[in-house]
Amino acid sequence: MELRRSFDEDALNYDRYRPGYPQALFDDVIAYSHIGAGSRLVEIGIGTGQATKPFLELGCRVTGIELGENLSAFVAEKFRDCGGFNVVNADFMSCPVEENSCDLIYCATAFHWLPKEAAYSKIMRSLKSRGSVALFWNHPFPNHDGDPSNTASKRVYAKFRPSGKVLREFCEEDCAVRVKELKSFGFENAEYRLYKRVRKLSTDEYIHLLNTYSDHRALEPSLKEAFESEMRKALDEVGGFINIYDTVDLYLAQKP
């Protein structure tokens, strides 16, 4: 199975355990893009709508585009009472979007699945003049030195999923690449914001969260079972929880 389609297998688990986004992020998107009641928005890869409600509450008309059939059905039911909402079960790259029609196109932790050049070009064509694009991600970091729950988790990963990759927390220096990228594709007034938070998850919550990630779901079944069993044991030994240190990065830019 194509990894980006794996999210469609368990929409309820995804909606329950994937984190949302800080209210400050939505406030910044709204202030930057000058959207309000009646503004036309497109959300790329809407998933279960964790980045959708603040814009609907503002009175915007939101079209969610979602590749997964089950996720599309889930989010259609979730926002069934919102008159300004509709969802299209399609790949953004093949879904018709009227040119020069959108006040804001945004994407939450999904843009990396798209072919970059073609996606930026389609966004540019679809936006109105001075329309805005907002791209944002959550970067969870459960690898803080000195945090016993993180140390326990790292031991399990080292045993079952060893990697030579150096683990480091997402930081401000990483943002320059995306800002430069937006400018290179013709967008103006590109800028970024960073938001920090810490989530404390129980052992069960953490295992459920892991099962929302495509690489974890793709593990060979016996390895996945052994990994999860060992992770439960390791976290229960240090109090039955794990702290996850999130960095959320937001990028904003405008069509000329």
Q: Report the alpha-carbon angle 178-180-183, nearest 5.
A: 110
Q: Predicted confidence band at 10 (pLDDT cuts at 50, 70, 90)?
A: low
Amino acid at site 159? K
Q: Predicted confidence band at 165 (pLDDT cuts at 50, 70, 90)?
A: confident
Q: Predicted confidence band at 12 (pLDDT cuts at 50, 70, 90)?
A: confident
Helices assigned H by DSSP within the chain: 11-17, 23-33, 53-57, 69-78, 116-126, 148-160, 175-184, 203-210, 214-217, 221-237
For the chain, the structural domain boundaries read 3-142+166-198+245-254
Give the Cα separation of 100 and 179 in Å (integer). Answer: 23
Give the Cα separation of 107 and 235 in Å (integer). Answer: 33
Cβ contacts of residue 121 below 8 Å, gap of 6+?
Answer: 185
Give the residue-averaged pLDDT of 18-46.
Answer: 97
CATH number of the domain at 3-142+166-198+245-254, out of 3.10.20.30, 3.40.50.1780, 3.40.50.150, 3.40.50.720? 3.40.50.150
State the average pLDDT for the chain. Answer: 94
Give the residue-averaged pLDDT of 30-53.
Answer: 97
| Residue range 195-208, pLDDT digits in tens | 999 999 999 999 99
Give the Cα separation of 228 and 216 in Å (integer). Answer: 10
| Residue range 91-128, pLDDT digits in tens | 999 999 999 999 999 999 999 999 999 999 999 999 99
The pTM of the whole model exceeds 0.75? yes
